[in-house]
Amino acid sequence: MNQPTTSIPDAPAPGRTEPARRGRLTIDAPMRAFHWLFALSFAGAWLTAESEHWRGVHVTLGYAFGGLLVFRLVYGLIGPRPARLGLLWHRVSGVGDWLRHAGAGRLDPARAATLGMGAAMLLLLLVAAPLVLSGYAGDVEWLGMEDAWEETHEFFANSAMALVFAHLALLALLSVLRRRNLARPMLTGRTEGAGPDLVKTQRGWLAVAVVVAYLGFVAWQTTQGRDGGASVSQSERRGGHHDDDD
């Protein structure tokens, strides 16, 4: 009588290892390109804000910052669900629920940090618009109110920087609380853990288009005399003309 046999799975061949899980795709390439270019533009504009020599760089980066903001708003309306502005608002809307739980003695520090990060990002997008507009108004001396526009621009710039620091601090805190690097997905596009991809395609072509448009604009501004030290404000030009007349 033949004895029933059971199949034993083949052991992995020596030297072969199972491929490591790469995590879920949660942030597509255009959003990552926007994030880093947005941060680069703001940091560069901030560092050159007080220098007349680098005024051209400051203005160029400010305009590029504004262009990126327009892209983010449009992509937030027609892009994939993880990039939608409505989803960002939905995350922030949980503040009331968290406060009710906190009032009942059920504190959740991780959720508080998550809500704070969402609020900082949403406020930063809201502050970015008047920041760019006041900078443009001061650059063209609209209504002859250069000093007033400059003060307004400085106020929104300081507000934006405070929100950036808040965002970074909460990101670091949440990374500690959850024991994983939450900044990595903005580099790789992937979040650790099992589950379906939230983003179905990377849209790398669009990310390349954003980067090329950004670099092309900066290069074009440079050829127009917006390089460091080449830009002179309208008031300085008028003052120079007066000196010539004298």
Sorted by where each begins, the domain ranges of the chain are: 26-188+196-230
What per-residue confidence (pLDDT) applies to 238? 43
pLDDT at 61: 96
pLDDT for the residue 235: 44
What's the predicted TM-score (pTM) here? 0.79
Q: pLDDT in tens for each of the 246 residues of the chain? A: 455 444 444 444 554 444 445 678 889 999 999 999 999 999 999 999 988 889 999 999 999 999 999 999 999 999 888 888 888 887 777 776 766 766 676 777 777 778 888 888 999 999 999 999 999 999 888 888 889 999 999 999 999 999 999 999 999 998 898 888 888 989 988 888 777 888 888 999 999 999 999 999 999 998 886 554 444 444 444 444 444 444
DSSP state of 50: T
Question: Taking a C-beta distance cutoff of 8 angstroms, is the pair 27, 82 a contact?
Answer: yes
Q: What is the pLDDT of residue 1?
A: 46
Three-class secondary structure of residue 25 per DSSP: strand
What SS3 class is residue 191?
strand
What's the Cα-to-Cα distance from 238 to each of 81, 235, 241, 243, 245, rounded to whole Å? 51, 5, 5, 9, 11
Q: Which amino acid is at 230?
A: A
The torsion angle over the Cα atoms of residues 105, 169, 70 and 207, rounded to 10 degrees, is: -110
